[in-house]
């Protein structure tokens, strides 16, 4: 089975190039692959059916351009359509002119409501607000205690009172008004959409506090049922947005699409871990790529189009993704990247790039340094870097105004990259576990080896980036390039 939609489509549609126009038969063949990719990503079957129909309408008759293969073209339409549904721009939370801004969280059992409530409170604080949390889950054992523990860690007050959750929520609202809190976040008990009694209860809670925002909290690992659940919650509560949780896992997250399609509202926030700070505004473009099982290759292609002649565009993108590697090519690639604009954004668009990489500083200076190092090598050294010994290294360092250590670093990274790239081209060779290298880098925060190391400081030890890329497991990718270890900063910078 193919790993990514791009692989599948390039197989299906290779023969089409240069034929002028896409015919319905070609499109159908591509759509069959897209359907499978979406189903494997857990998008609901009914949603897939309608989605594929829409893409079909947009694709048939579309021109086959020189720069994009028909496969890429269909992929682009799919990608755009996905982003459309997931929300073209992040939800812009408007705080009420007459405080408190009331936020209600609802969802299935265990979806991550209580954790998200605390995270949202922390987010509000970061926006200069003064939130109050309401523990209106009076049902699950120790639910309020859980909220209190989380709230203590961020120094936010929790309101709760035993008895009826509706009264409890209403009490929280009056307390917020009295205490001058400008945001009220109500955590509710998990409930099944089929549980009419509990759905009525949450509707009554909603009536009591009249939320400005009602967020449906959805686990990214959820499958087909996402639609039935979202429909009922939306019908009951008029959902304003979705909080997608557990995105630090490796689920493709097709549920996001199912839910967004049903409620017609954007995904507002992404929860990417158990710690309070593992929370961010949602990026629809990244999610679309994740669902399709590929990096944001389409955007990469679009950027490439602007820089190169049309015919060269595809080849350029291809080189970036697949690159065959010599040291000259390495520097060439870096130069190309620089020409295409903001490096950070380019790198983050490559398939499977982790946040660790995304956040690494890759600036023009580093490229200039890398260039200088390579240019100080003899042609023989560039082709066979193995011959570079200590004295050659010293010469190269002197020639490029760098240190021997920097030269070694570059060579080490280059060798590793060459291995990775080799693996990438042959798809399916093994890849270093994403977490390991990262754990080493952040060694100081990994806590004790073995057990019990998840609280305090670095607690849950694997750093954020390593695990949240959503790339299919086991596939080698440029995500493994350790830009920070590359250490191309000039001395003294």
Partner 1 sequence: MQAPTPATFSSGLASSRRTLRDRLASMNRRRPDETTWESLEEALLGADVGVTTTMATLERLRTTAADQGIVDADELMHALAEGMRASLDADRTLHATAPEREGTTPVWLFVGVNGVGKTTTIGKVGARLSAQGQAVVMAAGDTFRAAATDQLQTWADRCGAELISGSSGADPSSVVHDAVSAAAARGADVVLADTAGRLQNRKNLMDELAKVRRVADREPGAVAETLLVIDATTGQNGLSQARAFAEATDVTGVVLTKLDGSAKGGIVFAIEAELGLPVKLVGLGEGPDDLVDFEPDSYIDALLGVDAD
Ligand X SMILES: Nc1nc2c(ncn2[C@@H]2O[C@H](COP(=O)(O)OP(=O)(O)OP(=O)(O)O)[C@@H](O)[C@H]2O)c(=O)[nH]1
User: Looking at residue 4, what DSSP letter applies?
Assistant: S
- Kindly tell me which of 390 and 449 has the beta carbon lying closer to partner 1: 449
Query: Binding to partner 1 by residue 240, rule CB under 8 A?
Result: yes
The residue (of 113 and 431) whose beta carbon lies closer to ligand X is 113
**Minimum distance between the CB of residue 234 and partner 1, rounded to whole angstroms?**
6
Q: Which of 8, 148, 246, 431 binds ligand X (CB under 6 A)?
A: 246
Residue 159: in which H helix or E strand, if any?
strand 157-159
Nearest distance from residue 128's CB to ligand X, in Å? Answer: 24
Identify any residues that bridge with 56 across adjacent strands, giving them in sequence order: none
- Give the dihedral of Cα atoms 295, 301, 307, 308; nearest 10 deg: 130
x/- mask, ligand X, residues 99-138, rule CB under 6 A, reads --------x-xxxxxxx---------------------x-
Tokens 């979806």 found at: 111
Residue 302 — φ and ψ, nearest 5°? -60, -45
Q: Which is nearer to ligand X, 227 or 244 (CB)?
A: 244
Q: Is 142 in the site for partner 1 (CB under 8 A)?
A: yes
The single residue listed with the structure tokens 């398939």 is: 351
Look at the chain and count its residues: 493
Return the number of the residue (152 or 339) whose C-beta is nearest Mg ion: 152
Residue 453 CB contacts under 8 Å (≥ 6 apart), including other chains = 446, 447, 459, 461
Say which entry of ligand X, Mg ion, partner 1, none residue 394 contacts (CB below 5 to 8 A, set by partner kind): none
Half-sphere exposure of 41 (CA within 13 A, CB side): 31
Residues that bind Mg ion (CB under 5 A): 113-114, 143
N-to-C CA span, the chain? 47
| Residue 231 beta carbon to ligand X: minimum distance, rounded to whole angstroms | 18
Q: Which residues contact 327 (CB under 8 A, 6 or more apart)?
A: 374, 377, 381, 382, 383, 385, 414
Let me know if 417 is exposed, middle or buried by CB neighbors in 10 A (0-12, 13-18, 19+): buried
The partner in contact with residue 235, picked from ligand X, Mg ion, partner 1, none with C-beta cut-offs of 5 to 8 angstroms by kind, is partner 1
Cβ-based nearer residue to partner 1, 214 or 299: 214
CA distance 224 to 227: 7
Chosen residue from 26, 219, 355, 381 binding partner 1 by CB under 8 A? 219
- Least separation in angstroms between residue 188's CB and partner 1 is 14
Smallest separation (angstroms) from Mg ion to the CB of 254: 24
Q: Considering beta carbons, is residue 86 or 410 the nearer one to ligand X?
A: 86
425 binds, among partner 1, Mg ion, ligand X, none (CB under 5 to 8 A by kind): none
Q: Does the protein bind partner 1 through residue 196 (CB under 8 A)?
A: no
**Span 251-290, contacts to partner 1 by CB under 8 A:** 251-252, 254-255, 261-265, 274
- Kindly determine how many residues on this chain lie close enough to bind partner 1 according to the rule CB under 8 A: 82
**Long-range contacts of residues 415-418, Cβ cutoff 8 Å, at least 24 apart:** 415/385, 416/480, 416/481, 416/482, 417/325, 417/330, 417/478, 417/481, 418/325
Closest to partner 1 by CB, 250 or 312: 250
Q: Which stretch binds ligand X (CB under 6 A): 11-19, 267-275, 290-298, 393-401?
A: 267-275
Question: In b/e form, how buried is each residue of 58-94, taking b as 16+ CB within 10 angstroms?
Answer: ebeeeebbebbbbbbbbbbbbbebbbebbbeebbebe
Q: Say whether the peptide bond before residue 100 is cis (omega within 30 degrees of 0).
A: yes
Whole-number minimum distance, CB 137 to Mg ion, in Å?
5
Q: Which does 59 bind (CB under 5 to 8 A by kind): Mg ion, ligand X, partner 1, none?
A: none
CA distance 13 to 26: 7
Compare residues 161 and 248 and give the one whose CB is closer to partner 1: 248
Listed in sequence order, the residues at least 6 apart from 468 whose beta carbon sits closer than 8 Å to its beta carbon are 247, 248, 272, 273, 354, 355
Q: State which residue, 114 or 206, has the beta carbon closest to Mg ion.
A: 114
Which is closer to ligand X, CB of 39 or CB of 138?
Answer: 138
By CB under 8 A, name the one of 62, 90, 99, 223 that touches partner 1: 223
Q: Among all residues, whose Cβ is closest to ligand X?
A: 190
Q: Which does 26 bind (CB under 5 to 8 A by kind): Mg ion, ligand X, partner 1, none?
A: none
List residues near ligand X by CB under 6 A. 107, 109-115, 137, 140, 143, 189-190, 192, 217, 245-246, 248, 271-274, 278
């Amino acid at each position: 089975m193919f790993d990514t939609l791009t692989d599948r489509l390039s197989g299906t549609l290779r023969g089409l190039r240069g034929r002028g126009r896409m015919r319905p038969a070609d499109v159908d063949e591509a759509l069959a692959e897209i359907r499978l990719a979406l189903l494997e990503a857990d998008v609901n079957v009914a949603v897939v059916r309608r989605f594929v129909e829409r893409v079909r309408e947009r694709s048939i008759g579309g021109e086959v351009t020189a720069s994009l293969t028909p496969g890429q073209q269909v992929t682009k339409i799919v990608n755009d359509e996905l982003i459309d549904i997931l929300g073209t721009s992040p939800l812009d939370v408007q705080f009420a002119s007459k405080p408190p801004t009331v936020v209600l969280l609802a969802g299935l059992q265990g979806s991550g409501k209580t954790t998200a409530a605390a995270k949202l409170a922390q987010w509000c604080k970061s926006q200069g607000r003064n939130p109050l949390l309401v523990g209106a889950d009076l049902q699950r054992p120790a639910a309020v205690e859980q909220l209190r523990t989380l709230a203590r860690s961020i120094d936010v007050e929790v309101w709760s009172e035993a008895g009826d959750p509706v009264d409890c929520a209403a009490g929280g609202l009056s307390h917020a008004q009295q205490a001058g809190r400008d945001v009220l976040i109500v955590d509710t008990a998990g409930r099944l959409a089929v549980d009419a009694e509990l759905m009525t209860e949450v509707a009554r809670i909603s009536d009591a506090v009249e939320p400005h925002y009602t967020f449906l909290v959805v686990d990214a690992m959820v499958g087909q049922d996402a639609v039935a659940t979202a429909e009922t919650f939306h019908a009951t509560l008029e959902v304003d947005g979705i909080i997608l949780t557990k995105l630090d896992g490796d689920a493709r997250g097709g549920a996001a699409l199912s839910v967004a399609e049903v409620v017609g509202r954007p995904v507002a926030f992404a929860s990417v871990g158990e710690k309070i700070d593992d929370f961010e505004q949602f990026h629809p473009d990244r999610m679309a790529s994740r669902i399709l099982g590929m990096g944001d290759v389409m955007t990469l292609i679009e950027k490439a189009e602007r820089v190169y002649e049309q015919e060269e565009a595809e080849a350029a993108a291809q080189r970036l993704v697949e690159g065959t590697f010599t040291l000259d090519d390495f520097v060439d690639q870096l130069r190309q990247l620089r020409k295409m604009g903001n490096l950070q954004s380019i790198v983050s668009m490559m398939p499977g790039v982790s946040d660790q990489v995304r956040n690494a500083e890759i600036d023009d200076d580093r490229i200039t340094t890398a260039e200088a190092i390579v240019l100080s090598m003899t042609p023989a050294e560039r082709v066979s870097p193995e011959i570079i010994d200590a004295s050659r290294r010293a010469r190269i360092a002197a020639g490029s105004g760098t240190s021997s250590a920097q030269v070694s670093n570059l060579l080490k990274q280059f060798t590793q990259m060459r291995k990775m790239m080799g693996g990438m081209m042959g798809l399916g060779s093994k890849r270093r576990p994403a977490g390991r290298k990262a754990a080493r880098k952040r060694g100081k925060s990994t806590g004790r080896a073995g057990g019990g190391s998840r609280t305090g400081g670095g607690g849950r030890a694997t750093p954020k980036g390593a695990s949240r890329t959503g790339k299919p497991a086991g596939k080698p990718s440029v995500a493994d390039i350790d830009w920070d270890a590359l250490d191309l900063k000039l001395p003294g910078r």
